Structure 1
Amino acid sequence: MKEIREYFNKLVPLTATESDHFTSKLIRREFKKNELILCCGKTEQYLSFVEKGMVRFYSDKGEKEITFSFTFENSFVSAYDSFLMQNPVGYYVQALADTVLWSISHTDLQKVYRESADGQQIGRRAAEELFIKKSKREMSFLRQSAQERYENLFAENPVLLQKIPLKYIASYIGVTPQALSRIRRRIYS
């Protein structure tokens, strides 16, 4: 809880009362490595903050999974399209490591918005963070090679190389595992 209070105070300086009010709405949720956080066909009920762990978003195309997003510690995570519209998702959200999330429900977030201008600012900043992440991802596919996408992923999160299975990284950057092996050979040789 300490980390989330510090993170929110960087976004929006809160009084102790405001911070207590907002954090009183948060629930701690724990997921084991490889556990599904949200299943395809379900509706996202939470906007969450990753205290510990990492999360993968993927679509299942029969025998092939396509990873389209990762979220790491000290970041917001949500199947945000589903959260906003309260519609079922067409993908999965999975913990890639033992993960701790601090989550606020859709209902409680709407109450916080009505009750507090600071709560509105936190919600807006979370939405902006999720939008910027999505926009950067889309632009990377338009402007960067697979090797550049790979290099940028690890420039932002260097410890991940040992933690994320290569098949997920290959899918995320839009190549086969064999093409990722060639990229890695070029970089590390």
Structure 2
Amino acid sequence: MSELQKFLKSIYDLPASSMQKLEDCLKPVEFKRKEVITWEGHVEKYLYFVQEGIQKSYYIKDGNEHVIAFTYAPSFSGIPESFLTQTPSKYFLDTITPSKLLRLSYDQLQSLLSEDRHLERMMQKATEVVLAGLIQRHHELLAFDIEERFTAFVKRSPKLLNLIPHKDLASYLGINATNFSKLLARVKI
């Protein structure tokens, strides 16, 4: 079973015929390290499935990057609200490491969803998973102090500490870089 099939099965158990329809529409793409996939102000035209690599979504304010999400295998990637509404993105999506992705265009997805109720249900479940994750992240940013945010992140994604620049991790956690370094030295992982 492919990584895509395993990932989707964890969300919704698609029949083989529905999985095949989806796989037939996916196109492989590759991006180099630090390559922009989606630009702020552009409409996200694709939903991506990450096979390899790490990507980040961020916005720029006062000349600084503010990281809002990381994506890595196996998961979806893209700018969800721009993709779902077909409106200009408020964010950039670029690669931290060289990345291999599978992509599906908005029009292809809409066609698949209109003709296959299982794919429509899978997309609904995937949206629910993303929404739950966003609510959890919002809660952590508002309710947790910096050490609790750091600890929660390390428990959830320990391998990312060595794969993502610490300045990006600090930005994602809403912690300044100096405090992030202190937490890294002080908190037992």
Task: Give me the TM-score of the superposition, normalised by structure 1.
Answer: 0.92
CA positional deviation for 1:19 = 1.6
Partner of 2:43: 43
Between the two proteins, the alignment pairs up a number of residues equal to 189
CA distance, structure 2, for counterparts of residue 131 and residue 15 of structure 1: 24
CA distance, structure 1, for counterparts of residue 114 and residue 122 of structure 2: 13
Q: Does 1:111 align with 2:106?
A: no
The 5 Å alignment of 1:27-42 reads 27-42=27-42
Cα shift readout 1:100-127 (whole Å, capped 9, x = no counterpart):
2222111011101110011101211221
Instruction: Tell whether the 8 Å contact from 1:154 to 1:161 is kept in structure 2 after alignment.
Output: yes
CA distance, structure 2, for counterparts of residue 70 and residue 164 of structure 1: 9
CA distance, structure 2, for counterparts of residue 5 and residue 173 of structure 1: 31
State which drifts further: 155-164 or 14-23. 14-23
Partner of 1:68: 68
Counterpart AA for 2:106: H
CA positional deviation for 1:154 = 1.9
CA distance, structure 1, for counterparts of residue 182 and residue 40 of structure 2: 33
Task: Give me the TM-score of the superposition, normalised by structure 2.
Answer: 0.92
RMSD across aligned C-alpha pairs, in angstroms?
1.7
Instruction: Tell whether the 8 Å contact from 1:77 to 1:130 is kept in structure 2 after alignment.
Output: no
Counterpart AA for 1:84: L
Identical columns (%): 28
Task: Give ranges in structure 1 of 5+ residues lacking alignment.
Answer: none
Partner of 1:146: 146
Partner of 1:59: 59
CA positional deviation for 1:16 = 2.8
CA distance, structure 2, for counterparts of residue 64 and residue 72 of structure 1: 23
CA distance, structure 2, for counterparts of residue 2 and residue 150 of structure 1: 32
Cα shift readout 1:83-102 (whole Å, capped 9, x = no counterpart):
11111112111111111222
